[in-house]
Amino acid sequence: MPVTVRPITDQVVGADKTPSHCEPVFLLGLNIIDEATFLPRTPAAAPLFLYQPSMKARVGVFAATAGNVTRAWILLLPETGIADRVMIGIPPSIGQGQEAADYYAALGASNPLSPPLIRDYLALINGIDPYSGDTRDGKVQACYGSQVMGGGRTMALLMPVRALLNAGGADGELGPFADDGDVIADTVNAIAAATQGAFTPRNVEVFTHSNGIVACNAFLRAVQGTLPLRVAIALDPASAQSLDRTTVGELMQNLSGQTGGIVNGRPTGNFEYWPFERWKNEPDRASTMRSFHNDLFQYLHNYAFPRYLLRLSIRVTHG
């Protein structure tokens, strides 16, 4: 089905003054894993951490419509230059359980182009909402943008915004943008064209977190042959589900043990295992654990994995 794309950056961040429709933005500084101290397949070895200062980037928002389904897509670009590859993020469901559904319903998530909904995703990416200053206090604060921009590859980050308006297909929150290869490829290429070539999808990498694994596998299978897939990254996938290794050249899969998949202290699949003890050098572990009332699942699954392991996975794969 045909895809149309239009910029809506001004409606979300309050300005649209550049040819790429991507406005300057600051990304939150954060602690990072020193990849030189990371020992793969050695869960008893705790890596050291460094600090990555705040970075400058550019952010834009685009409305993509396929048939009768519209979804917003957020694009993050390096501060300058042309990104020669793109990381596509497949986020978890926003309707998983009553608490999450209520949170997103309050953001107007039944409207796919709701500015508060999109700004919440901006805070997930930037570490802080560039419009309101919100830092998603009490929710996942992944700083995906800082991780991708600090990953060592000249890469754009592109993420679809889920909506509670069911759109059918393999994932009702994303509709054809999750499982129709032609729609996905046309969307990515149309957004690149709308930026006047600020990034090129010559190389495509994909990551997902939590139960986003289901839509991510549908996405990978759909775009196989339509987009040049290089790397796929999983951050603590629900039920320890593996990425579809037949679709992509290189995988990096990270598991906490909190979502299953561990037998006799070892992962049952092709996973890098990150138990709690492996995080002993994480600078904010003690204070974050206190804030989560010593809940291991909250610390590992909703904090450490999305905040640290995307960047590390980029740094230790080849792309």
pLDDT digits (tens, 9 = 90+) for 247-260: 998 999 999 999 99
Model confidence, pTM: 0.96
Give the domain CATH number at 230: 3.40.50
Are 93 and 162 in contact by the 8 Å Cβ rule? The answer is yes
For residue 5, give the 3-state DSSP assignment. Answer: strand
Please state, in angstroms and as integers, the Cα–Cα distance from residue 138 to each residue in 83, 141, 152, 259, 260, following that order: 33, 8, 29, 21, 24
Pairing of strands 204-209, 85-90: parallel
Lowest mean pLDDT among 123-137, 186-200, 297-311: 123-137
pLDDT in tens, 53-89: 999 999 999 999 999 999 999 999 999 999 999 999 9
pLDDT of residue 200 exceeding 60 = yes
Tokens of 314: 């980029």
Are 300 and 256 in contact by the 8 Å Cβ rule? The answer is yes
pLDDT in tens, 115-130: 999 999 999 999 877 6
- DSSP line for 67-84: TTEEEEEEEEEESSS-BS
| Percentage above 90 pLDDT, the chain | 89
- Mean pLDDT within 30-35: 97
Q: What is the C-alpha to C-alpha distance for residues 67 and 186, in angstroms, rounded to an integer?
A: 13
Q: What is the C-alpha to C-alpha distance for residues 77 and 83, in angstroms, rounded to an integer?
A: 7
Instruction: Name the pLDDT band for 99 (thresholds 50, 70, 90).
Output: confident
pLDDT of residue 12: 95
Structural domain total, the chain: 1
pLDDT of residue 20: 97
Pairing of strands 204-209, 155-160: unpaired
Q: What is the C-alpha to C-alpha distance for residues 155 and 91, in angstroms, rounded to an integer?
A: 18
pLDDT of residue 172: 96
pLDDT of residue 161 exceeding 60 = yes
Q: Which amino acid is at 238?
A: A
Are 292 and 13 in contact by the 8 Å Cβ rule? The answer is no
pLDDT of residue 149 exceeding 80 = yes
Instruction: Name the pLDDT band for 131 (thresholds 50, 70, 90).
Output: low
The sign of the dihedral angle between the CA atoms of 168, 143, 89, 9 is: positive
Of 189, 147, 150, whose CA–CA distance to 62 is shortest? 189
Range of the domain at 294: 3-316
- Mean pLDDT within 296-304: 96
- Mean pLDDT within 282-303: 96
Alpha helices of 63-211 — where are they, by DSSP H?
A: 98-105, 115-126, 144-149, 176-179, 181-194
- Mean pLDDT within 128-153: 83
pLDDT of residue 185 exceeding 60 = yes
pLDDT of residue 137 exceeding 70 = no
Please state, in angstroms and as integers, the Cα–Cα distance from residue 153 to each residue in 204, 262, 271, 317, following that order: 12, 32, 23, 11
Are 162 and 174 in contact by the 8 Å Cβ rule? The answer is yes
- Mean pLDDT within 149-176: 96
Neighbours of 206 (CB within 10 A): 24
Instruction: Give 151's contacts (C-beta < 8 A, 6+ positions apart).
Output: 87, 310, 311, 314, 315
